[in-house]
Amino acid sequence: MSSEVQDKVIEIIAEQAVLEVSDVKLDATLEDLGIDSMGLVESIFAIEEAFDIQVPFNANEPEKSEFDISSVGAIVTAIEALVAEQKGT
Amino acid sequence: MHRVVITGMGTINALGTDVPTTLEAFREGRCGIGPLEFRDVERLSIRIGGQVRDYDPEASFNRQQIALYDRFTQFTLLAAQEAVGQSGLSFAGELAARSGVVLGTAGGGVTTWDENYRTVYEEGKNRVHPFVVPKLMNNAAASHVSMTHNLKGPSFTVATACASSNHAMGQAFQLIRSGMCTVMLTGGSESMLCFGGVKAWEGLRVMSKDACRPFSANRNGMVQGEGAGVFVFEEMEHAKKRGATILAEVIGFAMTSDAADIVMPSQQGAARAIRGAMQDAKVNPEQIGYINAHGTGTAANDKTECAAVADALGHHADAVMISSTKSMHGHLIGGTGAVELLACILALRDGIIAPTIGYEEPDPECALDVVPNVAREAKVDVVLSNAFAFGGLNAVLALRKV
């Protein structure tokens, strides 16, 4: 199932990975897509700008973060939850 | 003690985007200073500068590089590319481990600071791009040069205001002379031509509204420039063994501190640095054919500098040629000594002395041969390059023809 949030998140990740949107699959990890830690924080910045939300993420301990980055699908789910929580939609 | 030679040079500044164009401008006495063009310039009272015009970052860098490179880093990388290309060097293995980068900058990523302060203060946003810190840090340019060219030895950045580049090149010289390194990329860059950068200088009330006229009696201040100059300094035997073209030899360096005033220059401090560079180079005043002056066009610098030169060179001060190319490219602050070293190489290699343009009226307090307005042909064997910084930090280099 596609959503506006999903499309935008995938677009941001695709741009960061220098890939076509169609090449970014939900089950892919950031590593699969060649996005390193700098690329990750840049993507989070772009996501925050796009949705006007705060993403709780500390690059020192990504595994302890409430924000699940284990796959593109997990990121989309997390962003959908954050948008709903912070924007009340 | 190892001897040190220059085997590559690169630049981008208001006079041109490479060395040949810049040297041509020096020969022609062309002025690169003009109206500043950037956001909010109408709120400044100083509206001229030596700006790098028609600059398109996308012609040289990809989107991800631009996100990470402040303008001062971009300028540095372009100049470094030209210098390394000319030297014919590529860095791998033992040579990479024995080569490094020492660069000067006074402000580092000033435009990055400016743009992001604007974002959070003026626009009231609470979020900035994640690369703000790696983009604005003073060592960003040196680090990117080391990464781009695989230089794995000592790399660092020197910040001594207007003497940054000369101090940096002095360190590079000493690292090779002492045997610690084989090749050093060195020089400096600056890019503070943005609203906040010029506004800060405006506050000091030392800037000219119309032109930079060093040594001229009607001079009325400095004009800021921007850009970069990068050189390949190489241990002489290493350069000879590989048949490199040698542009000049670096033969001496001295640095002194006035320990007196945070902005006013000192004749004694400057003279000690000039004398020190000659002693280090083991040359007499009579051997000096040309001095690239600090020559900022301020009332205080130019008369103090002329007095210091007269003091250090004695009778020979009347015979030496001394010019300030800041009249053409503006004052590049932390990058200025690097761009000015090009005029030293032009003098040694091509026998052309770059002029002091904008010279209109003799000043009895600057009664030296300042090569007014028109370049001159002259054979010179040894030259000096002066840099005297705010904070009373002086650095002078000596070069010889090869």
Is B294 considered catalytic here? yes
Domain count, chain A: 1
* pLDDT at residue A2 greater than cutoff 70: no
Show the tokens assigned to A14.
Answer: 């695709």
**What is the Cα–Cα distance from B352 to B192, expressed in whole angstroms?**
30
- Cross-strand pairs, B372: B356
Q: What is the pLDDT of residues B210-263, one digit of tens each?
A: 999 999 999 999 999 999 999 999 999 999 999 999 999 999 999 999 999 999
Q: How many CB atoms lie within 10 A of CB B149?
A: 22
Give the pLDDT score at B125: 95
B316 is catalytic: no
Domains of chain B as residue ranges with CATH: 4-241 (3.40.47.10), 252-400 (3.40.47.10)
A45 contact residues in B (CB cutoff 8 A):
127, 129-130
Averages of pLDDT over each 10 residues, chain B, 402 residues? 98 98 98 98 97 97 95 98 98 98 98 97 95 98 98 98 98 98 98 98 95 97 98 98 98 98 96 98 98 97 98 98 98 98 98 98 98 98 98 98 96
Which of A38, A42, A48 minimises the CB distance to B127?
A48
Query: In the numeric block, which tokens belong to residue A67?
Result: 């924000």
What was the pLDDT predicted at B283? 98
pLDDT tens-digit map of B115-171: 999 999 999 999 999 999 999 999 999 999 999 999 999 999 999 999 999 999 999
Q: What's the confidence (pLDDT) of residue A89?
A: 58
Catalytic residue among B31, B144, B149, B162: B162
| Segments forming the whole domain that contains residue A44 | 4-87
pLDDT digits 0-9 by tens, A54-86: 999 888 887 777 789 999 999 999 999 999 999
Position A29 pLDDT exceeds 80:
yes
User: Residue A37: which CATH number?
Assistant: 1.10.1200.10
Separation in Å, CA B23 to CA A44, B16, B20, B65: 46, 9, 5, 29
User: How far, in Å, CA of B84 to CA of B96, rounded?
Assistant: 13
B 119-178 near A (Cβ less than 8 A): 127, 129-131
Q: How far apart are CA B287 and CA B289, in angstroms?
A: 6
Is the interface score ipTM higher than 0.90?
A: no
